[in-house]
Structure 1
Amino acid sequence: MTDLSDQLVRLIRDELQLAKVDLADSARHAGLGIGMFGAAGILALFGLGGLIATAMIALALVAPWWLAALIISLAVLVVAGILALIGRGQALKAPPPAGQLIASMKADVDAVKEGRHHDDKPSK
């Protein structure tokens, strides 16, 4: 029985260490996703202002100024949308660590119970 309780304590400690590693990995993916969302927002903000002004000046030579602004605005928004989708993909890669931890701990407890049942059977 003492060995069983020692094994259970060691198993729980190992599971907690694994949970820490999983949380760190999840946080890294979430951070990358959030960072990319932020980059998309910044690029959209500054890109809209700078490129629309520059494009309006350049394209106003061959097209009306409103058409030049529309073309450049749409292009910048497409780039921002692509970055947002990439960031969303990174954020979704962060798995929910609690569900994995619970499933793993249940499997470990079941394995310990199964081992205890085998120990309780008399040997022939």
Structure 2
Amino acid sequence: MTTSTPSPAPRPASEASIGELLSRVPAQTSQLVRDEIRLAQAELTQKGKRAGIGVGLFGGAGLFSIYGVGALVAAAILGLSEAVDGWLAALIVAVVLFVIAGIAALIGKNEVQQAVPPVPQEAVASVKTDIETIKPGASA
């Protein structure tokens, strides 16, 4: 039965030689890149969910408003046709509906813009910070 000796634990950075420190760089760099990728994925997932919910709610609201507006259009045209000709009543109601549609489109556009850009901003900032941290050490 052979016994293997466990490899010694790495010394703290303050006690390590330059060779030991340099040998740790590839592993630490790989770990840093993997961590940044995980952060970017998590951030994009969160933004995607928010955008999906917003778009879904916006679409659902549009569908229900179509049914409601259909009933209201008929009622408005019939009610207004008591005062003016039927064609004029339909035209007035149509103009009002287009104004409402424009307002709803602007609100929907603002909601979608809040979800973009779909860039993982926190991860990008973290990578920039990492690069700035490494630059002074690389030039020394």
Q: Give the corresponding residue for 2:113.
A: 92
Structure 1 unaligned segments of length 5 or more: list them: 119-124
1:66 partnered with 2:87: yes
Distance 1:56 1:43 in 2: 20
Deviations 1:38-72 (A, max 9, x none): 24643564355322211111111112112221222
1:111 partnered with 2:124: no
Question: Please, which of 46, 58, 68 is the counterpart of residue 25 of structure 1?
Answer: 46
Query: Does the 8 Å contact 2:47/2:118 carry over to 1?
Result: yes
Question: Please, which of 24, 29, 47 is the counterpart of residue 8 of structure 1?
Answer: 29
Structure 2 unaligned segments of length 5 or more: list them: 1-21
TM-score, scaled relative to structure 2: 0.63
TM-score, scaled relative to structure 1: 0.69
Deviation at 1:23, TM superposition (A): 0.8
Distance 1:78 1:35 in 2: 23
Give the number of aligned pairs. Answer: 118
Query: Does the 8 Å contact 2:48/2:118 carry over to 1?
Result: no
* RMSD, aligned CA: 2.9
Query: Does the 8 Å contact 1:35/1:87 carry over to 2?
Result: no
Query: Could you say what secondary structure the match of 2:100 adopts?
Result: helix
Deviation at 1:106, TM superposition (A): 5.2
| Residues 88 and 30 (structure 1), Cα distance of their counterparts in 2 relative to 1, 3 Å cut | same
Q: Give the corresponding residue for 2:6.
A: none
Determine which structure has more spread, i.e. the larger CA radius of gyration. Answer: 2
Query: Could you say what secondary structure the match of 1:16 adopts?
Result: helix
